Structure 1
């Protein structure tokens, strides 16, 4: 039997640091034993800036670890500027449509739900033009995500977005979501009538690349020294500083724990944000104006250095804003579990990651916008700093990940589901 060809539409792909880009990279490389794979994506530009080497041609053709990659040139953008972001996204959409004809012998098209709505429509385009089976991988639901944070109040816009994305769902041969609560959203969209075939497969982290390190590991100490974090008790948020996490209000809770806050063992308590995003400037401005000297912002780390920054923390935040249940699933949890860190989860009841944390007892969880309980949970972690209880909490999360949420297990499920079509 001939090896079949799978075409993947992915807005971002390595070396971009977008979490979906990393997931797609590992998925593509992990399925090369069953498929010839081509990825259509933008030139490296997750931060908005494009290197000179990617500014001269319309398309760039690369082979990365056996995966054929077609990159689309797009205009630069600023994350805080909606107009520039729209131009960037639309350029990718039409560029990807044109790039589709450059791929031969397509048996399956696989598209993720990024960019919002357009990702699904690209999958429909690929299905129709290449007469292929269409797998729609929904990482986030839109316009539900937009509505949850009031990013747009235009009923015409959000109504149109929902109609188009339901159309993409109907056209798909298979929908793959990343959480049990997201499967529920598919059912609700179609009011449990003529629901497209849907399965759930968890996202993952490569547990062979991200794992626990000793606190005195040379590279972990080097990271701490670089950002003046030596001998501190660190509560870390690592990931996108975007609209969907209620970080501005959480920061106001953090303000209660001033620079003089210490653990029972005498360590200063420090709150660290690693990443970048739409609300970063507002967070930094608030910290500056309120003289929050124990709050530190650190840029995204290179993929090869992520293990060191994650292991530098004593506790990790995993948060979503209210209304995100069934809409999005914070993949940052998998990295946190992989390094055996206890979790402070601000997540809605019934959401995929909160359910895992509760089932494994690997952290403390609280509903979004319950700021009093968030404060109490922070205090609990401070009171239990460096305790055996905290260490065991983190390792329960890792043990569950190794048994149920490894990269190989999830990728095998992807291969089996696609080949059943």
Structure 2
């Protein structure tokens, strides 16, 4: 039987390291047995820089592991410069509209909520142009996310953003969110009984690519040596160092732990941040100003090396700023759990990942802004008051039993096919 055609608006796609881009790569490749898939995305540019080979033409056509790719040329940008980011995003939006006209008939269009508001509108455009069913995958709710971190306080703009995103939701045949709390947010946007059809499917990591390693693994040892982390007890944050994670306050809390602090087995306590983002410079400046030698910053790791950096940690941060509950879901948890590591969670009560951590007893939980409880948790970790190893084992079992890549992707394919 001839496969139905599915068009995905991805914004970022492999080799970019954006978490949504990686998820959409695995989703697209995982559904190739069901759909003929085309992805519209930007040229590789998550860092803000663009290779010369992607600066000559407006569109680039590729095929990666069976997925057809249409890449759009966009201007370079700085993550610290709002104007340059807006120009970049607008170029993607209008370029995607043009690219839609180049991809032929489509039965379904699938768009994520990135960039904010525009991602949903692209899905509507694709629906109209291709007379296709539209699936809207909301990874983050906006303007709620913008409001939570105070990125904009322009009431007229926020009201317009809300109206446009509700319009995108209404135009969809199905909204797929990634957390129980996000389902609640969607329903609360509308009057009772007026919300669009919604499904909840957890995000994932590739549990076959990320899995527990022994600490004497040579690649883990090499990673630690490269960044002078031998004989250190490592509390690691890995991922986007951006606005939505309260990291600027957490770094101030870390200052309360002198660089001479040792855990019960004698290792020195070290806080490690792996990644990049809009507040990285602020964190580095603060650490430099206060001479915090117990903090290490490490660039994003190549995807094939992520298993080694994740396994190098003893415990991982999983954090969100206050107000993010029901708005966004920190998918970094799935990689942490796949590596068999415990979690130091700073998440609002009732948020999806907070519930997973509590329900499965895989880490410590405190609320954003409750730094006294967070400090007590770190003290408990230092003293080995809880068996971190058992927490890590339960983390991996959770992934293997309920949250495998195959199970989640199958849920996506089934939900889309059910729209026929």
TM range (shorter): over 0.9
Q: Secondary structure at the match of 1:417?
A: helix
Runs of 4+ deviating beyond 3 Å: none
- 1:395-406 map, 5 Å: 395-406=393-404
Inter-partner Cα distance in structure 2 for 1:318 and 1:381: 15
Q: Secondary structure at the match of 2:193?
A: coil
Aligned to 1:354: 354
Inter-partner Cα distance in structure 2 for 1:324 and 1:309: 27
Q: Secondary structure at the match of 1:262?
A: coil
Report the more deviating stretch, 23-32 or 375-384: 375-384
Aligned to 1:146: 146
What is the deviation of 1:401? 1.2
- 1:169-188 map, 5 Å: 169-188=169-188
Inter-partner Cα distance in structure 2 for 1:97 and 1:304: 33
1:248-284, Cα deviation, whole Å (9 max, x unpaired)? 1111111111110001111000000000000000000
Inter-partner Cα distance in structure 2 for 1:60 and 1:305: 28
Inter-partner Cα distance in structure 1 for 2:199 and 2:143: 21
- 1:151-170 map, 5 Å: 151-170=151-170
1:363-402, Cα deviation, whole Å (9 max, x unpaired)? 01000000101111111111118x7x11001111110111
Inter-partner Cα distance in structure 2 for 1:132 and 1:263: 58
Inter-partner Cα distance in structure 1 for 2:191 and 2:332: 31
Normalised TM-score (structure 1): 0.99
Inter-partner Cα distance in structure 2 for 1:382 and 1:297: 21
1:148-171, Cα deviation, whole Å (9 max, x unpaired)? 000000001111100000000000
1:259-310, Cα deviation, whole Å (9 max, x unpaired)? 1000111100000000000000000000000010010000000000000000
- 1:1-400 map, 5 Å: 1-384=1-384, 389-400=387-398
What is the deviation of 1:191? 3.1
Inter-partner Cα distance in structure 1 for 2:11 and 2:293: 37
1:232-255, Cα deviation, whole Å (9 max, x unpaired)? 000000000000000011111111
Q: Secondary structure at the match of 1:62?
A: strand
1:160-193, Cα deviation, whole Å (9 max, x unpaired)? 1000000000000000000000000000001333
RMSD: 0.8
Inter-partner Cα distance in structure 1 for 2:272 and 2:403: 27
1:24-69, Cα deviation, whole Å (9 max, x unpaired)? 0000000000100000000000000000000000000000000000
Question: Aligned match of 1:408 in 398, 401, 406?
Answer: 406
Inter-partner Cα distance in structure 1 for 2:66 and 2:145: 35
Q: Secondary structure at the match of 1:41?
A: strand
1:317-336, Cα deviation, whole Å (9 max, x unpaired)? 00000000000000000000
Q: Secondary structure at the match of 1:110?
A: strand
What is the deviation of 1:314? 0.2
Q: Secondary structure at the match of 1:192?
A: coil
1:329-372, Cα deviation, whole Å (9 max, x unpaired)? 00000000001111000000000000000000000100000010
Q: Secondary structure at the match of 2:11?
A: coil
Inter-partner Cα distance in structure 1 for 2:276 and 2:85: 16
Q: Secondary structure at the match of 1:10?
A: strand
Q: Secondary structure at the match of 2:318?
A: strand
Inter-partner Cα distance in structure 2 for 1:256 and 1:394: 26
Unmatched tracts of structure 1, length 5 or more? none
Aligned residues: 419
Inter-partner Cα distance in structure 2 for 1:15 and 1:255: 36
Normalised TM-score (structure 2): 0.99
Q: Secondary structure at the match of 1:7?
A: strand
Inter-partner Cα distance in structure 2 for 1:353 and 1:64: 32
Inter-partner Cα distance in structure 2 for 1:101 and 1:214: 51
